[in-house]
Amino acid sequence: MNPPPGRVGLHRSLTPYVWVMPAVVLYFVFKLAPLIGGVYLALLRWDGIEPATFVGLDNFVQIFHDKLIASALMNNIKFAIGTVVGKTVLSLLLALLLNQGIRGRGFYRTALFTPVVISMVVVGLLWSWIYNPQFGLLNDLLRLVGMENLILDWLGGTKVALWSLMVVEIWKWYGFHMVIFLAGLQTIPEELYEVARIDGASRLRRLASITLPLLQPTMLINVTLALMGALNVFDIPYVMTAGGPANSTMVMALHIYIRGFRYGKFGYGTAMSYALLLFVTVVAGIQMRLMWRPDNQ
């Protein structure tokens, strides 16, 4: 006996919700619930041991009196500018090269994407060894080519430590953005290039008039992801420099971690987390608004 038509229609309409329900539950338990519960924690003074004390908005007020926040925020901004530009330019150039019909293209794509899947701890330890001032690969290479005047303590100097971390961040994630650019390049119709070649357009002209304009939606995605990742960066400074030397690589996420877990100021750390969330959201919104074009649909 066939079920009534109404029951079949109800079953079909509920089936998609049943399939997505596990993902919704997991997202609520591990994302939304902590985000909502953290609001109350931000209103407490609690060290994880003694009973919590309700202090209202004092933790948020304390943010404006924290002398380290200004320098940490400035380091975040410098880190974001350097890494976003570096990752975007490098990944776009590599994507343009790999989008050509070169031999071994699949191998090169896999090799260039490899850093993305390496553990961040492994990446930090690897580059800490490369940057080591005594036996590091970088300084040994400079000695080998007779450029001893460029030898530095790459992680121990206040002027170069943050730049050294930028290089690691770019190396770690350029493959991720390269793959996104490759996907965008493959959506551009080949007929447009054929017409441009017939009209006598040079390769540079085709890049400026066809490739880059049609890559604007992909560029928006890549820049947004790179920017949000840079403003929330934690693992590389934590593993490689712990915020030193002299707080020259101290960033907001690391500052929050130290205040919350090392000094037992969980309420204050949570309040700073929400302030950072607001800051990242505003900056990302401004960036998307500036880059958005009506044809990015």
pLDDT in the model for residue 4: 54
Provide block-wise average pLDDT over 10 residues at a time, the chain (297 residues). 53 77 91 88 90 92 93 95 96 92 82 93 94 92 90 93 96 95 91 88 88 92 93 94 94 95 93 93 89 65
Amino acid (1-letter code) at residue 196: A
Q: Supply 42's token pair.
A: 């931000």
Beta bridge partners of 45: 53
pLDDT in the model for residue 275: 93
pLDDT in the model for residue 17: 82
pLDDT in the model for residue 50: 87
Distances (CA, A) of 68 to 43, 73, 82, 138: 21, 9, 21, 32
Q: How far apart are CA 256 and CA 297, in angstroms?
A: 38
E strands in 8-165: 44-45, 53-54
pLDDT in the model for residue 7: 58
pTM: 0.87
Helices (H), 186-265: 190-198, 203-206, 212-214, 216-231, 235-240, 252-257
Q: How far apart are CA 64 and CA 36, in angstroms?
A: 23
Cβ atoms of 254 and 165 closer than 8 Å: no
Domains of the chain: 68-291 (1.10.3720.10)
pLDDT in the model for residue 270: 93
